[in-house]
Structure 1
Amino acid sequence: MHITDYELFEVPPRWLFLKVTTSDGTVGWGEPVVEGRAKTVKAAVEELIDTYLLGKDPSRIEDHWQTMYRGGFYRGGPILMSAIAGIDQALWDIKGKTLGAPVYELLGGAARDRLRVYQWVGGDEPSDVAAQAREKVDAGFTALKMNGTPAIERLDNPAAVDAAATRMREVREAVGPDVDVGVDFHGRVSKPMAKRLVAALEPYEPFFIEEPVLSEQLDDLEEIAQHTTTPIATGERMYSRWDFKSILEDGHVDLIQPDLSHAGGITEVNKIAAMAEAYDVAMAPHCPLGPIALASCIQVDACSPNAIIQEQSLDIHYNETSDVLDYLADPSVFEYREGYVDIPDGPGLGIEVDEAHVREQAGDVDWHNPVWRHDDGSVAEW
C-alpha cells in the first residue's frame, strides 16, 4: 500500500481539511490549519506531500514525522508544525482503518470510558456571560470557559480589573460552586495587569487561568503564580515537545493545552502528554476547530491519564456559517451527555466525514482574525 493522492478543502467557517488516499482506496482525513492562515498552511502541506510523501507507505508514521520535521533543516513554528499535524492525523486515520481499530487502541488503549468537555460563553469581547453560562449548564455542561477581558492596556485602570472580576462573580453566582469556569486571558494581558487580575478573580475560584501572558513571555509566569492559587494553563501557541520542555521544568504551569492541529498532530501531542504526566501536569488540548481536529484530540485524550477535559467548538462565537457537526455523516459521535462525550470505538479517528458536504462547502474561505487597536491607535493583542 502506498499514498497515491491527496486533496485540500478550505471550508467555512475557517478550517482546512486534508484527504489522503492510498493505493487500496483507504482514505484518511486531517485538519492542517492555522486560523487565519489557511492558504499558507495549504501551501506547506502541498510542498511536504508533493516532494516527499506521494508514493510512500503510509504506515511508517514515526519515520514520516521525523522526515517532515528534520528533513528541511529549518523546523518548528506554527505553519510547518500545523502542516505536519494535519498530515499526521490523516496517516493515523489510515492506519486505524487498515487495522480496524481506533487510534487510541494503537497508542496503548483507552484509559477512560468518556471524556469531559467544556463549552464557550461570552464571545471575544465578553458580555452577557451570566445568562449564557446558566443556559449552557441547563443544557448539561458542567464546565465552561470565557474570555477574561476585551482589549486591555498594558497598564489599565481599576475599572478594567473590576469589570473582569464582576463578570466572573456574576457567572459564579449564576451557576454555583459545582460548575467549573475557566478564564482565558488570550495573551492580551501584560504581566503587571495579569498579577492584578489573577488576584481579583481568585475569590470566585476559576477552574484555571489560560494564557495569562503570551508564550514569548513565559518567564513571567513565576511572578504571576505568586499572586494566585488558581491553576495556570498555557500551550496553544506552542508547537512541539521542545517548546513545552522549559515550562514543564519550571513548574509554574498546571495545565498544558497543546493543539492537535498546530503541535505536530497525534504523534507529537501523545509525546507531549507523556512528558507532562512525568511532571504531574494535566492536559486539556486546545481545539476551537473542526470535527477532524476534535476527533484527533479525543484519540489522544482517551489514552492519556493526565487528560482532564477537552475544548470543543460547538456553537463557539467563530462558527457563524458552519459548525462542527455539519461535516459529519453521523453527528451522534460527538453527542454530549452530562458534560461528557463518549470515547468513539470506530476505526481510525472514529468519525465519518461527509465528503459530499465538504465538497459542496469548499471554496475560497477568507477568514482572518480582527486587528484590535488601543485608543491611541497602537495595536492591541486580540
Structure 2
Amino acid sequence: MTTIKSAEVIVTSPGRNFVTLQITTEDGTTGLGDATLNGRELAVAVYLADHVIPLLKGRDAMNIEDTWQYLYRGAYWRRGPVTMAAIAAVDMALWDIKAKVAELPLYQLLGGQSRTGALAYGHASGRDTEELFDSIREHQEMGYKAIRVQTGIPGFDNVYGVAASAGGDGERYDHEPARRGSGGRALPVEESWDTRAYLRHVPTVFEAVRSEFGAELPLLHDGHHRMTPREAAQLGRSLEPYDLFWLEDCTPGEDQAALRYVRDHTTTPLAIGEVFNSVHDYQTLITERLIDYVRSAVTHTGGITHLKKLADFASIYGVKTGFHGPTDVSPVGQAAHLHLDLALHNFGIQEYMQHSEATLQVFQTSLRFEDGLLHPGERIGLGVTLDRDAAREHAYDPAYLPVNRLTDGTVHDW
C-alpha cells in the first residue's frame, strides 16, 4: 500500500497566479496537481486546504478512481469550477505518483503513444492587418504549424485575444488590471463590444490572411461566447470559404440545444467547452454530433481521470479533442494534457501558449516542441518538478478577468 502522508497547497505568482497541490506518500514519493482557477485562485486553495486535504491522509495513493469518486460523490454538492479544479489537482497528483512508482512517463499508463507528438496551435493577433501578418509570421518562425487568428475591430481599443503588440500571447488583459478600487485593490478591466461590427470585419480579415499565407495553413478563430445562435451561424457561414480548422465558442455553451441551429446553418467545424466542468455538460453536444472538438482543460474538468472519460465518450461519436491550453493552466496541467494527447486515439489539436521564463523557473518541465508538435518528454510521472525556493519569490497578486460591455453599457459575455 502506497499511503498518503501529507498534502500541501502552494500559491505562487511568477507573472500570473498558480495554485498547485503537492501530495507526499509515506515513502517520500511526491505528486503535483494544478488547481488554478483564473481570477478565483484562492477559492480553490481554501477548498483544498479546508475540505479536501483532511480527507487524503492515510488513503492509498494507488486507488485513483476510488479517490475521485469519493471526492466527487462524497461531497454531495457536485461539479462547479471550484470543486472540479480541486478534484483535478488531487487526481493529477495521484497519477503523477502512480507513474513515478511504476518508473514510467504517465502516457505509458494511459495506453502508450498513439502518435509521435501532438499538433499544437499558437495565438497570432493584431490590431490591424499588418500587425496580424507580422504575428502570424513570428509564430511560424517559432515552429507553429497551426495558428489561431484574432483581430482588432476598427473603432475599438481593446478586443479579446488581441495582444498589445505583434507576437504577444493574445490574452494580456487577464492579468493586467487597469484600475483600482477602494484600498488600492485591482478591479477588472472593462472592454467595449459591438457584435455587428465584428461580424462585418472578421470575414475580411480571413480573406486577407488566406490570400497572404495560402490554403494549407490551418487557421482557428475564437468567438469567446459573444454571439447569439443566429449570429454564430452567420459568422460560420461567412467563414466557410476560408476553410477554418475550427470556430471556437461561437455562442454560450450553457444552452446545448442552441448549437443545433448553428450546426444546421454552417459547415464550419465547431469547438466548445473551455468553461465546462463535466462530461455531463457535453452530453447533447456529443450524442447529437453538434460539435467537432471538446475544449475542456484538465485543470477545470476533474483531472486526468475525468477528462479521459470525456474523450472516450466523444470518440464514440467521432468528436475529437482540443484541450484548453492558456497560460493560466500551469505547466503541471499542461503536462497532463500532453500525456493524454499522446495516448488518446481521438486527439485533434492542442492549444499551446508558452509560459514565461519566470514560470518555467518555478515549474521545470520536460516538455519539448519540435516541428509544430508537442511531446511531454520521457521523465517519469508528469515530468514536472516544482522549485519551492523559486515559488516563494513570487507572492500572490490579486487579479481578475476582464468585464465586457456593449456600446450602450450593457454587460455582455467576455
Fold in common (TM above 0.5): yes
Summarize the Cα distance change of 1:324–1:313 in structure 2 as closer, same or farther, 3 Å threshold: farther
Give the equivalent residue in structure 1 for 2:175: none
Answer whether contact 2:248 2:271 (CA < 8 A) is retained.
yes
Aligned-partner Cα distance in 1 for 2:250–2:382: 32
Give the equivalent residue in structure 2 for 1:350: 383
Determine whether 1:312 maps to 2:345. Answer: no
Pick the aligned partner of 1:339 from 351, 372, 384.
372
Letter in 2 for 1:9: I
Aligned-partner Cα distance in 1 for 2:246–2:128: 17
Answer whether contact 1:18 1:87 (CA < 8 A) is retained.
yes
Letter in 2 for 1:328: F
Give the equivalent residue in structure 1 for 2:334: 294
Letter in 1 for 2:231: M
Determine whether 1:257 maps to 2:258. Answer: no
Structure 1 residues without counterparts, runs of 5 or longer: none
In the TM superposition, 1:1-382 aligns within 5 A as 1-12=2-13, 13-122=16-125, 128-147=131-150, 150=159, 152-153=193-194, 156-157=195-196, 159-288=197-326, 289-314=329-354, 325-329=360-364, 331=365, 333-361=366-394, 363-382=395-414
Offset, 1:233 = 0.5
Cα RMSD after superposing both structures = 2.0
Aligned-partner Cα distance in 2 for 1:235–1:341: 22
Aligned-partner Cα distance in 2 for 1:225–1:126: 30
Answer whether contact 1:103 1:349 (CA < 8 A) is retained.
yes
Structure 2 residues without counterparts, runs of 5 or longer: 154-158, 160-191
Answer whether contact 1:82 1:264 (CA < 8 A) is retained.
yes
Question: What's the CA shift string for 1:97-126, capped at 9, x where partnerless?
Answer: 111112221122221221111111227x88
Between 294-303 and 5-14, report the one with greater CA deviation.
Answer: 5-14
Answer whether contact 2:6 2:56 (CA < 8 A) is retained.
no
Offset, 1:47 = 3.1
Offset, 1:265 = 0.3
Letter in 2 for 1:381: D
TM-score by length of 1: 0.91
Offset, 1:324 = 5.1
Summarize the Cα distance change of 1:358–1:346 in structure 2 as closer, same or farther, 3 Å threshold: same
Letter in 1 for 2:404: W
What is the aligned-residue identity percentage? 31
Aligned-partner Cα distance in 1 for 2:149–2:20: 27
SS in 1 for 2:300: coil
Summarize the Cα distance change of 1:98–1:364 in structure 2 as closer, same or farther, 3 Å threshold: same
Question: What's the CA shift string for 1:202-234, capped at 9, x where partnerless?
Answer: 211111011111121221111112222111111
Aligned-partner Cα distance in 1 for 2:4–2:236: 50
Aligned-partner Cα distance in 1 for 2:275–2:409: 26
Aligned-partner Cα distance in 2 for 1:42–1:109: 33
TM-score by length of 2: 0.84
Aligned-partner Cα distance in 2 for 1:260–1:174: 36
User: How many residues align structurally?
Assistant: 370
Offset, 1:51 = 3.2
